[in-house]
């Protein structure tokens, strides 16, 4: 198509053309090149073997970079020549890591590899000169793997409650592992937040109480990792561990500067399928975290700390342990009859309106009738149901602009959006391509009222005529579908990465620039495209250095060990440590050259 050159920012590029979903290539704009910083299996420590896909072991994987990298940040030290890379490892793809087996001993051994391949990684990075691409450091002092066996401390009002006690942890304070780590955020005090998203899939569940059903719709007797078969805490039918699932579904906080620190799970921020959390400092110094619950017809939340940010890093590390939790109720300003489900704009020309943050806790205690504080924080979805929150189209990443304080909410899609549940904030039946909401706090960042409008109704304008790009001429935009992660560059432009384009618009997923101000507002332009069957995650935009970073998650997910559909990023190389026959989730940097 005809693309105009982008304006503003310090990362000039000509948008790439969308890439067909069968193409197994990583595609960048003219004048740019790419290379991985670190790949699944790369050793973090010199005691780790060089990766060999045919010689995987639990001990090796625990000291190698994990699988399915999702959240990503690149945090430079003041020198600009050293720093840390932090990434989540959301889940594993057993069918492309291994050939099939039915041998129980081998399945258990693989289960232990999966435990070590999930979680998070902290890896030191280095470069000779600022502005150059980075390399990772084997044996870096801050290198660390967090896995499904790492001990996390529960904080906040639900820590120690009966709802989170198990036979192995009668105190209800110490949880082994983190699960389903999806997106995240970096706090103003330099820690990393990570959302425990699809934790429910790691348990066999009775799912026989309302509280369980709200997180796991139907009973299950097995898991894809097989953990429930040999580790009793993953069998929630077991009376000793019926509460084990209540110990997952939180925002976790880790300190990437201190590899000996105990990572924490913050119950004050609620329990749901957390996509991630992004923090901004309010006018009065309290901190506000925005959070999505990634499920069809679930909710948008915000957390407001009790205490104010200070010069004491030690005190700041406690900010997310105490505060109040709110859930969003949206209202539209157009007549309901004008919200037709097709995406056609109402008569006032906008999907927009106002909204209210409904309190679930105040002064740290439940304000939801019939719920104790512990119940609000552990069965948060039930509490949010009770206050009439608005059912959204799968809230993914939610991030406040550091320039304006406006909040950008990626709603990835929702096949279950019905005519009966249409509302102006979720105005498309069966929402196939997703949308992005721009939310403006109207009573301060920590306040309880907001305004909102739909910035983008995603899709391929050639196919979905009612796609909408903040009024920008749609024949000039890159097709975009299923927004997932968002980020900002130094000029305040929004960047969006996607998860779901192949099955909805036929193109590989990618990363897109969206200016928010002036004549270019809404001008979606594609910067990169990931290989076949991968999702684009993490995006980190260091535009002033001409660097862009993404996590390439689940490349070749449609293939098998015997018949891979992607060979990213090694593409058959026979170099030491490369894999010729299988895809590897990797963190990639894009730079000029």
List contacts with ligand FEO (CB under 6 A).
90, 182, 197, 275, 294, 396, 484
Query: Closest approach of Cβ 592 to ligand FEO, in Å?
Result: 30
Closest CA to 416 of 289, 288, 298, 570: 298
490 sits near Ca ion (criterion: CB under 5 A): no
283 sits near Ca ion (criterion: CB under 5 A): no
Strands 151-155 and 264-266, how do they pair?
A: parallel
438 sits near Ca ion (criterion: CB under 5 A): no
Query: Closest approach of Cβ 300 to ligand FEO, in Å?
Result: 13
Which partner from the list ligand FEO, Ca ion, none does 207 bind, CB cut-off 5 to 8 Å by kind? none
User: Between 112 and 397, whose beta carbon lies closer to Ca ion?
Assistant: 397
The sign of the dihedral angle between the CA atoms of 310, 305, 447, 298 is positive
399 sits near Ca ion (criterion: CB under 5 A): no
User: Between 253 and 275, whose beta carbon lies closer to ligand FEO?
Assistant: 275
CA 29, distance to chain mean position in Å, is: 25
Which partner from the list ligand FEO, Ca ion, none does 352 bind, CB cut-off 5 to 8 Å by kind? Ca ion
Residue 312 to residues 79, 185, 189, 280: CA-CA distances in angstroms? 22, 20, 9, 17
Among 255, 484, 533, 543, binds Ca ion (CB under 5 A): 484
Element (H, E) at 303: strand 300-308
Backbone φ and ψ of 324, nearest 5°: -120, 145
User: Between 256 and 538, whose beta carbon lies closer to ligand FEO?
Assistant: 538
Task: Locate all alpha helices (DSSP H) within 140-295, ordered by sequence.
Answer: 210-213
User: Between 182 and 252, whose beta carbon lies closer to ligand FEO?
Assistant: 182
Element (H, E) at 117: helix 104-117
Q: How many helices (H) and strands (E) does the chain have?
A: 8, 33
Here's the x/- map for Ca ion, 172-201, by CB under 5 A: it reads as ----------xx------------------
- Unique residue bearing structure tokens 């020198």: 79
Which partner from the list Ca ion, ligand FEO, none does 121 bind, CB cut-off 5 to 8 Å by kind? none
Where does this chain touch Ca ion (CB under 5 A) — which range of 302-310, 496-504, 522-530, 583-591?
496-504
Which partner from the list ligand FEO, Ca ion, none does 135 bind, CB cut-off 5 to 8 Å by kind? none
Query: Closest approach of Cβ 396 to ligand FEO, in Å?
Result: 5
User: Between 275 and 424, whose beta carbon lies closer to ligand FEO?
Assistant: 275
Query: Using an 8 Å Cβ cutoff, are 376 and 360 in contact?
Result: yes
Which partner from the list Ca ion, ligand FEO, none does 333 bind, CB cut-off 5 to 8 Å by kind? Ca ion
Residues 326-365 touching Ca ion, rule: CB under 5 A, are: 333-334, 346, 348, 350, 352
> What distance in Å separates the CA atoms of residue 60 and residue 91, rounded to the nearest whole number?
18
Query: Closest approach of Cβ 90 to ligand FEO, in Å?
Result: 6
Structure tokens at 72: 């990503």
User: Between 89 and 474, whose beta carbon lies closer to ligand FEO?
Assistant: 89
Which partner from the list ligand FEO, Ca ion, none does 90 bind, CB cut-off 5 to 8 Å by kind? ligand FEO
Query: Closest approach of Cβ 131 to ligand FEO, in Å?
Result: 32
Where does this chain touch Ca ion (CB under 5 A) — which range of 79-87, 436-444, 480-488, 490-498?
480-488
- Detail the DSSP E strand segments found in 109-204: 119-126, 135-136, 144-146, 151-155, 174-176, 181-186, 192-196
499 sits near Ca ion (criterion: CB under 5 A): yes
Query: Closest approach of Cβ 195 to ligand FEO, in Å?
Result: 8
Phi-psi region of 139 (alpha: psi -120 to 50; beta: other; left: phi over 0): left
Where does this chain touch Ca ion (CB under 5 A) — which range of 50-58, 99-107, 311-319, 493-501?
493-501
Query: Closest approach of Cβ 222 to ligand FEO, in Å?
Result: 22
Cβ contacts of residue 109 below 8 Å, gap of 6+?
57, 58
Cα(first)–Cα(last) distance of the chain, in Å?
25
Which partner from the list Ca ion, ligand FEO, none does 244 bind, CB cut-off 5 to 8 Å by kind? none
Residue 249 to residues 7, 68, 156, 237, 505: CA-CA distances in angstroms? 41, 18, 14, 19, 31
CB atoms within 10 A of CB 353: 17
Interface with Ca ion (CB under 5 A) = 182-183, 333-334, 346, 348, 350, 352, 484, 499
């Amino acid at each position: 198509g005809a693309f105009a050159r982008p304006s503003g920012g310090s990362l000039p590029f000509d948008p790439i053309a969308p890439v067909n979903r069968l193409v197994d290539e990583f595609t960048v704009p003219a004048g740019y090149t790419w290379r991985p910083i670190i790949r699944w299996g790369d050793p973090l420590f010199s005691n780790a073997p060089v990766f060999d896909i045919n010689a995987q072991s639990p001990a090796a994987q625990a000291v190698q970079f994990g699988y399915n990298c999702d959240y990503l940040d690149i945090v430079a030290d003041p020198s600009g020549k050293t720093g840390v890379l932090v990434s989540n490892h959301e889940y594993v793809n057993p069918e492309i890591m291994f050939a099939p087996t039915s041998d129980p001993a081998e399945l258990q051994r693989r289960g232990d590899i999966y435990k070590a391949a999930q979680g998070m990684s902290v890896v030191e990075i280095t470069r000779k000169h600022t502005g150059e691409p980075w390399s990772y450091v084997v044996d870096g002092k801050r290198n660390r793997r967090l896995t499904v066996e790492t001990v996390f401390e529960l904080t906040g009002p639900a820590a120690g409650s009966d709802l989170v006690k198990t036979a192995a942890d009668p105190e209800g304070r110490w949880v082994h592992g983190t699960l389903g780590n999806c997106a995240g955020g970096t706090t103003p005090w330099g820690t990393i937040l990570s959302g425990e998203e699809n934790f429910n899939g790691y348990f066999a569940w009775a799912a026989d109480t309302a509280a369980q059903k709200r997180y796991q719709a139907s009973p299950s007797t097995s898991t894809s990792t097989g953990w429930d078969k040999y580790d009793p805490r993953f069998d929630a039918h077991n009376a000793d561990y019926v509460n084990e699932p209540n110990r997952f579904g939180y925002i976790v906080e880790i300190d990437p500067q201190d590899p000996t620190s105990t990572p924490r799970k913050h119950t004050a921020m609620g329990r749901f399928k957390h996509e991630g959390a992004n923090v901004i400092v309010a006018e009065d110094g309290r901190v506000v975290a925005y959070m999505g619950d990634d499920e069809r017809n679930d909710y948008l939340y915000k957390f407001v700390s009790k205490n104010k940010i200070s010069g004491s890093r030690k005190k700041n590390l406690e900010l997310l342990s105490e505060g109040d939790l709110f859930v969003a109720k949206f209202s539209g300003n157009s007549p309901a009859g004008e919200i037709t489900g097709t995406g056609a704009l109402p008569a006032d020309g906008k999907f927009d309106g106002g909204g209210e943050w409904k309190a679930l806790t105040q002064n740290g205690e439940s304000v939801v009738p019939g719920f104790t504080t512990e119940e609000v924080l552990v069965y948060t979805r039930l509490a949010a149901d009770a206050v009439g929150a608005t059912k959204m189209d799968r809230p993914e990443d939610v991030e406040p602009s550091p320039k304006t304080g406006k909040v950008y909410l990626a709603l990835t899609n929702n096949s279950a959006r019905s005519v009966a549940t249409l509302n102006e904030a979720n105005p498309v039946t069966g929402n196939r391509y997703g949308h992005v909401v721009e939310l403006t706090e109207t009573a301060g960042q920590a306040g309880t009222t907001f305004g909102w409008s739909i910035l983008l109704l995603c899709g391929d304008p050639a196919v979905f005529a009612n796609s909408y790009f903040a009024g920008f001429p749609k024949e000039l935009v890159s097709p975009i579908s299923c927004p997932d992660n968002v980020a900002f560059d130094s000029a305040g432009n929004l960047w969006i990465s996607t998860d779901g384009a192949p099955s909805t618009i036929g193109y590989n997923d990618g990363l897109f620039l969206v200016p928010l101000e002036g004549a270019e507002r809404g001008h979606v332009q594609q910067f990169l495209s990931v290989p076949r069957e991968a999702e684009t995650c993490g995006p980190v935009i260091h535009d002033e250095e001409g660097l862009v970073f993404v996590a390439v998650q689940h490349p070749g997910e449609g293939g098998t060990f015997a018949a891979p559909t992607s060979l990213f990023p090694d593409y058959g190389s026979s170099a030491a440590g490369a894999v010729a026959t299988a895809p590897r989730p990797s963190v990639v940097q894009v730079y000029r050259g």
